[in-house]
Structure 1
Amino acid sequence: MNVELNALRARYGRMLVTLFWAHVPVVGLAAAWVGSMSPIRAMILAGALAAIYQVIWTRHGTAPMTRSLSAVALVGEPALFLLVFDGHGWQMDMHMYFYAVLALNLAWFDRTALIMAAAAITVHHLVLFYLLPSAVFATDGDLARVLLHGAIVAFQTAVLVWVSDKVVQSFDRIGRMSDEIVAKSAALEERTREAEAANRTKSMFLANMSHEIRTPINAILGFCHLVQRTALEPRQREHVARISTAGGALLRLINDLLDFSKNEAGALTLEARPFDIRSAMSCQVQMVADIMASRNLTLRQEIDPALPEVLVGDELRLNQVLLNLLSNATKFSRDSEIVLRARMAECRDGRARVEIAVGDCGIGMTEAQMTRLFSPFAQADSSTTRRFGGTGLGLAICRQIVTQMDGWIRAESVPDKGSTFTVSVSLGVGTQAVSEAVLPCSAIRDLRVLIADDSPIALKMLEEIFSRWGMRVILAPSGRAALDMVQAADQRGLGYDLVILDWKMPGMDGLQTLRALRRMALRRRPASMVMTAHGVDVVMAEAAGEPIDLFLAKPIDARSLLQALKQLPGLAERHAAAEAGAAAPATASPALPPALVGQRVLLVEDNPINQEIAVALLTDAGLRVDCAENGLIACRMVEAGGDDYAAVLMDMQMPEMDGLSATRRIRQGRDATRLPIIALTAHAYDEERVACLNAGMCDHVTKPIDPAHLIAVLARHMRVVAPPVEAAVPAGRPAAGDLPDALPPFDIPAALARVNGKRALLHRLILTFAENNRDATVRLRAAVAQDRLEEAHRLAHTLKGVAASLELPLVAILASRLEACLGAGEVEPVDALLEELDGLLSAAIGAADTLAGPSVVPPDPSAPDPSPAEPAPTGEAAHVERLRGHLLEQVRRRSMAARASFDSLAEALHLDAATRADHPVRQALVRLDYAAAAALLDAPHADLGPLRT
């Protein structure tokens, strides 16, 4: 049944209920007015008709029976009015009501109801004429007149039936159309789902293919770069250069296709992060600086001073647009000038409308060429002999990006005069707090910096970055000029604090300049930074053996430069002194606010040396320290007594449970206001820092640990959980060992700065390093051979952090390269790296062994003299006794390796995991309470059972 027609009938049927009952008082009033019938009787008759319809409607709704009987009942209403108006002049006029109720039945859209109503009217008239003529036709009624009325009723009924049929047919047609629309809509939805699935499949296919294609292309480009560094014949070098150029073009094509596909599929999402737009533009200019120099192009920048220092938006996508426009301007120009302009068009409600224009003096375009400028796969020069390459997607992608940034892009061009592309985007304005976060501290701004680079554009970009920070830097066009400037400044007593050198410079490159600088007799030797566009790992490999403070990859932006400058040795001490208004010694112990002294912190660190360094630093600062060897143990300790900790220092890479997983688990029960968690890791990249913050950590401290920086971060985030008490200081610290001022390959002065000048602690750490890493390369080789790359990656990461903390730079560099290879799943270079690492480790361990000397354990006067008649233990007992003696020796030397030795002894004693974890000796070692552990080990141990308490 047609749904719409049935709904219309239902509304009409409900309306008739009201109409029938409304007739009851109207008929009563008419009877009272005319006086021919008792009003009560009239109302009873009208109420009977209403009641009959009410019952039928209630039981049967819009059924055919309801429609037919209601038609007859409606005819009864005018018939009743004829009786009421008996003898009144209006009686004959009541016949008009018959035609009204007949037309009213049209609303049922049922020909049967109309015919029933017409039949009822005809029968009514015949009955009146033959049986009750005096009721209506007392004077002038005749059959012809009755038949005339019948003919009129028949004609009206025919018209109404025709209209009703047409309406029903229309409803049926509408119903069929509706069903077809629903069916087609369902089919369309299904096709839409199929199209979306196909689009997702296409996107996945493109992403997978992009990855698969880019992997061999990157290998081709990488090996081309390596081959170009070897001795080649001129023709071979030319061929390799062409392969590299073609590979780069193919890689750009793949990237453009992937970006365009993602944008078309609506998969492009924009981030909102604060960034320095001036630095962003500088970075993109550096990307094309070499090409500009080769085409004899100069750059002129016009930056609006009203442009905010920090904006909020998607820096990566904006950089993509800028680089495309700069690349086009460079590609189509020669021997001329490129102009880069940026201005504030509007600033309202925390949003800035920024317009950036790139103008060139190149070949220009015609009106016809500009009409298809932003169309995908279209180029101004589409001939088969075109001079300029490209995919024709760059500007289409730019338009997609700026449109999503609520902006626009347009071009103005004159043939043979040049073109100007203008981009307008809407970006947020950074708050004052955000702006201060991307600006250097006073210690950095006080540095005297010299920069040497043979590229004028690169020098100009760096000078602008420093000038925005309020710093004046000295520029040198070559390595030789830099050496002359350093010597002249040193003679005037105004030596430089930092020298920044480009790696690849003609005549004397950056490393050669640095070596010459090391040989110069200077009153104050500056720190060094080497910047390169050829990969930091390549420079580090070539600089093996050369002490370099910082490395920085080009293109350089303000953020990466600032992050690098923050890692300068001694910067934290310099900053603290600047804040205090006076110089402070570099080895002065950093201090916590009095309210935080005596608070308890949890240190989560699996490496014994790093743990001992951190415990010493934290204890010296006045804190009480609990230790956990991995994230799982840390979670249990926090669950048991997390409200007692003022902060948690969390390592990232640990066995059983890493730092990120542990943080997420802790955050399920405690937010950052209840328990601050600070990352303590050798991962210094922004990605790792963001991962830490996303996991729920409050801050990020990199290894090797800078004591002042660590204490400053703790002071910023720690909470007061209890009244300050005197910090626990480990008892029985041994006196300083015979630690020389120089111990190659260890940098003893720098290592002492890492431990706040504690010679005894450094002596012990070097011995522990030697003991723990004698078989480091053996364990790494075994893990790689057994395809346990995750374990090998963790071992390399740990070795890198420990070597950096003990100032073994060459070991740290090799371990870092090894970690990178293992993290990327590249095992081919591992053997060569391990071979080189083995030699460096052997040298370091040999140097450490010179500090150990003979191990002399003083006799214990309280211990009973051994009976000469007692036979020496043999077999398993002898093995246990040797392990116990070795453990006792390590405990007396306060070695962090004692815990590993205890695990070996517990395994020999067949202790289960629960007993081993709760053993009092192990608990004492976890607390670094070596005196208690020694007392427990010195207890009687004649049997082979668990050690007694």
Structure 2
Amino acid sequence: MTDEIAALRTKFGRFLVVLLWLHVPLLVTVALIQGESLLNAALAGVLLAGSYHLMWALNGPAPATRYLSAVALMGEVAVLLFLMRGHPWQMDMHMYFFAMLALTIAWLDRETILVAAFAIALHHLLLLFLLPYAVFPQEGTLERVLFHAGIVAFQTAVLIWLNGMLVASFERIGRMSSEILQKNAALEARTREAEEATRVKSMFLANMSHEIRTPMNAILGYGHLIGLTGLDDRQRDFVDKIKGAGSSLLRLINDILDFSKNEAGKLVLEMQDFDLRATIAEQVQLVVFEAQAKGVRLFSHIAPDVPQAVCGDPLRIAQVALNLLSNAVKFSVGGRVEVSVYVVEREGKRAMLELVVADDGIGMSAEQQAALYRPFSQADNSTTRRFGGTGLGLAICKQILEQMGGSIAVASAPGKGSTFTCRFEVAEAGAIPASRVVSFEQIRDLRVLAVDDNSASREIVEGIFGHWGMNIDLAASGEEALAACTAACGRGDPFDLVLIDWKMPGMDGLTLARILQERGLEAPPPLTLILTAYSVDEALAEAQGIAISAVLAKPIDPQALLETITLLFAGEEPAPVKPAPPAAPVQTQVQPHLRGQRVLVAEDNEINLEIATELLTQAGLIVDPAINGQMACDLISARGDSYAGILMDVQMPEMDGLEATRRIRETWPRGTLPILAMTAHAFDEEKRKCFEAGMDDHIAKPVSPAALVALLDRWLKPVAAAPAKAPEADTRQTEVEAVLPAQLAPFDLPVALERVGGKAALLRRLIVSFGRDYGAVPTNLRSALSRDEPWEARRIAHGLRSVAGALGLHTVQSCASEIERLLEAEDIASVPAEIDALDAALQPAVAAARGLDGQSSEDRTEASAADPERAARALADLRGLLLRRSLRARDAYEEFARASGLLEAERQNHPLCHALQRLDYVAALELVDRIDDRADIQPVTSDPVAIRNIP
């Protein structure tokens, strides 16, 4: 029997004690009214109540007590019935039997109900046969007693049925309660286990953070130091990949640790003044290169009423903005990504800001959005496989924003892009004064001490400061650091700044910082900067009461370290510019102080773009290509301060060079960023339009390398950027006679070779491309005129004119120029005749180019023997260049084809070569993957047929 039934019986038994004793005054009152003996009535009530009370006191709710209670209850009614004999209500008193009988169900005992029913039946029989005058003096019959007995029997049956139902329910509830208690006990045990696991996990993550960050500090630190040494392009590419992979791993570690801290409620937000606009701009800059690689245009808009200086946590706000921007670029191919900031609410100095990041990417379904903030997941598995990532970024953003009193929401649809809207609260701060800025020379004079028990960390810090030209002393422990500081004070040359590792054996970093502040040897004490591979938030929490100037996480970011130091000493200063390494002696290079500068080339024609890239790279410059004016504007808007100049074609699709120049000049006036026209437009009127638009100078196509270098030397403005090593001479260059025939009428080969810097292999590729791409120009011109599209015909003629000039096709160039002039003058009637003349001049050139395309390699050069190791390296280089969408991929293909033993004609006719000539990097990468797949079965370099037959 369950505890609940026992508790109910106990309560009911106590209630009956009171109820039966209350019947004593009731019996006396009825006797008084009826004129019966008060003593006898009282004695009867006392006998019944006292008997039950004594039994209850002795046995509690035992069966005997329950049975006696049934007799007592029926006995009370029997006495009342006897006292009311002769009263009209005597028969109504029989109803009291049924009430008392129903009351017995509270015992939840079937036998008690039966005892009560038996007592009623016995009472009726007793009155009928022994004391009939008491109830039925005249009308008492056996039939009437049996009738009453039937009613009692029916009620008894109902009560017994109900009693069974109640008992079964209580037993079921009891079992459920027992199960619940057992499960609660198990849950409590599991909760304790989970809490212990969380504690162990936190300790594990803290230890792993340190264990991972320490070697990561060495990897990234040494990578930075290696980058400062003289490396060739291949070595620098390897170092950059190591640093990139290390940075990606570090971001992953930070994501996991951030999520863990957020889940544990240990994320601490900082409150400091910072420049919100600069913070957002920095995050945009971080995704510029990835956006460019995917053809995504970036836009930024911050409303005028957004305060410039705000008080909040710049690191976390930047983390949210960068995550959303990175996702927007990652899930977009082409299109645009825009980040905007607005003020939605103001209350005094508090402001609720809204950060909106919108893209034109793949979008999401409602189901994908529902799982968006779930940790360790992305929109779906296919997305995870395609785009990668931990799936933690948005979960962390949500946690950060909620802690800032804000929220995050998304609006998206498949194929229509996504818009993320974040709200967070900041306090408006005062303006950030420019007077805080000091010169870098002041920073150079600081006395700095670095304290770290890890020798690799000390060496990295020493190398970073050494590169900045700053003196730094090193200590391997807190005790050694104290001795160094004491000695420095004794010499009257105390340290200005002490960089201290937090977790060190013996005296830890915070203890050392506190001792330096309290001992009073220096006035004022040195500023302290804590470096740690553990959590920055935990370091700040433990540093309460210690005047720590700043805390930085390992691995050390040199730029962040420099910015922190300049801030600590009242200003900011950009990182120093590395001196340009001497360039290799290459013909037609720009002046040494310009080598390694970055220029932007806006050119829609792929052949002209390749020529310009080759010439400028050979001149010692870094080239960023843009295929139209809009792309050029976007690049300048994103990082215009990284360019020493712009070479701009005039006639381009989407936005021409003149309009692009006007837009650039809105933010970059004359004298700040040179813009040079590089166009086939050579007329004075065209030059005048270029100058009116804001260009600084003009060079006509075909471009003379010597004239181009002279123009660049005159106009380029060096900017603070790491110079690139000038390209070395192409050691794979084939002799002219081995690549090109002695005569290739009507091409003027000597002139054309001069246009391409003497590179015969490049010229051959350009001629072959010309034969494939320009044979239908006359037909296209006639079609454009038939559609009444003279502007399209002029564009076609303009493109042919510049290419023909570059390839030494003087007659073709002249005809195309005349067609362009006639179209400019709107003399449409004279154009068909010139198209006929152009057709006559063009077809021999096209036939010669196609003949060169189809020549067998036996007419020129024998295939070299296959070199498997060299081919494997070349294929890896080719893949990397394709991923970066670099024009150098064509050279890598030539190296791979030669190493694979392909004949010259096979190289030129290969679909991979065609894809590269079209600048179709996606198709080229797919072909490289197919070559790789075949290499898994049979090395392609040991059997050139393996790539000859690639479809």
Normalised by the length of structure 1, the TM-score is 0.45
